[in-house]
Amino acid sequence: MQLDFQQFLMKLEKLTDLRPIPDKEFVETYIKAYYLTENDMEQFIKNHREYSMKQLANLVNVCLGSHINKKARQKLLAAIDDIDRPKR
């Protein structure tokens, strides 16, 4: 996925004079989160408030969904919900 994004950026830079590409780091960080372990993902959830609750939940469900058990996934989703709760 990182390679795909790099290829996309190279093509985009040829098409536009816009420099730097807006939100490049935002996307790169999100892509890198796909490769995190369960413990690292918990820290990522706590430290990266710039991502929406839906984006974080998708990371947990899609990336870690097949690599962790249901209890661990529920724990991470609860951590996301806890972050969202004070806003309500």
Closest CA to 20 of 76, 57, 69, 28: 28
What pTM does this model have?
0.79
Domain regions of the chain by residue span? 22-87
Tell me the average pLDDT of the chain: 86
C-alpha atoms less than 13 angstroms from C-alpha of 7 in its C-beta half-sphere: 4
Specify the pLDDT at position 86: 56
Specify the pLDDT at position 88: 45
Residue 7 CA: distances (Å) to CA of 14, 17, 74: 11, 17, 35
Query: Which pLDDT tens digits describe the chain residue by residue (88 residues)?
Result: 788 888 998 899 899 888 888 899 999 999 999 888 888 999 999 999 999 999 999 989 887 666 778 888 899 999 999 886 655 4
Specify the pLDDT at position 65: 64
